[in-house]
Amino acid sequence: MKIYFWLSCLAIFICTNAVAQQDKMLTLDRIYNSSEFRSDHQRSISWISDGEAFVTIEKNDAGEDQLIKYISKNNEKSVFVSAEGLKPEGSEKTLRIEDFSLSSDESKVLIFTNSSRVWRSNTKGDYWVYNFENNTLKQIGANFPASSLMFAKFSEDNKYVAYVHNFNVYKEDFKSGNITQLTTDGTKDIINGTFDWVYEEEFGMRDGFSWSPDAKLIAFWQLNASEIGTFYMINNTDSIYSKPIPVQYPKVGQNPSSTKVAVVNTVSKDITWIDIPGDAVQHYLPGMQWVNSDLLLIQQINRKQNELNIFTYKPSSNSVKKYIQKQKIHG
């Protein structure tokens, strides 16, 4: 009789466990619309006080995001910006911090949230500034549609924030809220301050503009994708009916977008195009960096990606000089 008793218990256990496991069956919602299978990763870190401390994102006991400061030498922990400080006026919800950066004087924090995907990464979103001078939280580009700003960053003098919206570059005065549109020709074909599919695929490039150290100029890329054909991907997952997704995509053997770079005066809005030698379609411009307020380095690479030129550009004289010529790239 005992053996029958234990066999009955085992059968009940197996059946109960099978029913419980049915509730945990894999579904598309569990895989794609939840964070259940998301891998852990280190959230953004920003060093402050000349390396004496760093700031990172952590959750409080209520599961709300906040910024936490750690002293480097002893790991002493303190709240840098509380979850309560990250609640917009009139809202009960704390901002979810996806990324953040500090102004050069560390008086303000720029917070990226409510993001949406462009190509492979979530590079569109909303930006808010927390100001330590008066402990206030303010949204940048508040009158633009939600999740539509890209790559917002402080000027070195901490007076302005620049960003990309609808393929154009903007400057916003932090205190007054006045917005200046610095480029006006942006469309899905004329791309200012960000990149197309090719540059992200080949070089991992997304952020397409940079403040000069004196905040008088912004250097930016412009791509002309008007000659790029449309490739239609099929979305079979969002509905019982599939729908085509158009993507500007140059097939093998077709030309990529032409590319050029410019500097725009952040006061007069005058744009100066930099005359880089070489065909704008048959060369890429995969790098640009300010050395000082009157010296910009620009990288140029050929379509085969085996020759590299580096040019210098001086805004004061509008002069271009080849600095490194045709360095062979191996591998």
**pLDDT score of 19:** 44
Fold topology of 98-328: Methanol Dehydrogenase; Chain A (2.140.10)
Residue 290: other Cβ atoms inside 10 A: 18
Name which of 111, 85, 80 is nearest 98 in CA terms.
Answer: 111
pLDDT tier at 10, thresholds 50, 70, 90: low
Cα dihedral sign, 203-207-213-218: positive
Name which of 34, 66, 154 is nearest 105 in CA terms.
Answer: 154
Q: Are 148 and 112 in contact (CB under 8 A)?
A: no
Q: Are 218 and 264 in contact (CB under 8 A)?
A: yes
Q: Domain coordinates of the chain in residue numbers?
A: 98-328
**pLDDT score of 35:** 72
**pLDDT score of 215:** 96
Q: Identify the weakest region by mean pLDDT among 32-41, 61-70, 219-228, 279-288.
A: 32-41
**pLDDT score of 297:** 97
pLDDT tier at 118, thresholds 50, 70, 90: confident
What amino acid occupies position 132?
F
Is the pLDDT score of 36 beyond 80? no
**pLDDT score of 101:** 95
CA 236 – CA 239 distance, rounded (Å)? 7
**pLDDT score of 204:** 92
Mean pLDDT of 113-136: 92
Is the pLDDT score of 222 beyond 70? yes
**pLDDT score of 300:** 96
pLDDT tier at 6, thresholds 50, 70, 90: low
CA 112 – CA 263 distance, rounded (Å)? 26
Token digits of residue 24: 């945990």
Name which of 174, 127, 137 is nearest 155 in CA terms.
Answer: 174
**pLDDT score of 2:** 54
Is the pLDDT score of 289 beyond 80? yes
262-279 pLDDT, tens digit each: 999 999 999 999 999 999
For the chain, helix, strand, coil in percent to 5 are: 10, 45, 45
Name which of 114, 42, 112, 49 is nearest 80 in CA terms.
Answer: 49
Name which of 187, 184, 188, 194 is nearest 264 in CA terms.
Answer: 184
Q: Which DSSP letter does residue 44 get?
A: P
Token digits of residue 297: 């380095």
pLDDT tier at 20, thresholds 50, 70, 90: very low
pLDDT tier at 175, thresholds 50, 70, 90: confident
